[in-house]
Amino acid sequence: MELLGARRGERARLAAGTFAFRFAGPALRTGISFPPRATKLLETSSVVLLAALVATTALSEGHGFAGFARPVGVLVGGVLAWRKAPFLLVVLAAAGTAAVLRLLGVP
């Protein structure tokens, strides 16, 4: 039986490759040292990449604008997370805000 079009050998190779990548991080971390500037750049770039992902997901749907309800929901969730609210409250408030705005007719 095939799983998503992959045969057993392909799945095993994919699992082995995934394990190798996950193992390589901690194994190589102690043997490789980066200059402080490179370390700071890597930390900053990960934050920028995550922010770009959040912005893209919040603002677009397909090839167009997602409407105003979703970005407002993300904004509410972001403010609550910044204020260190419990995670469940952050998620429920963000989803609830977007849902209420859509019920009111805001796209």
CA dist., res. 91 & res. 81, Å (int): 9
Please give the Cα distance from 70 to 23 (Å, whole number): 37
Identify which of 52, 71, 47, 51 has the alpha carbon closest to the alpha carbon of residue 61. Answer: 71
User: pLDDT tens digits for 31-82?
Assistant: 778 889 998 998 899 999 999 998 898 888 888 888 999 999 999 999 999 9
Predicted TM-score of the model (pTM): 0.59
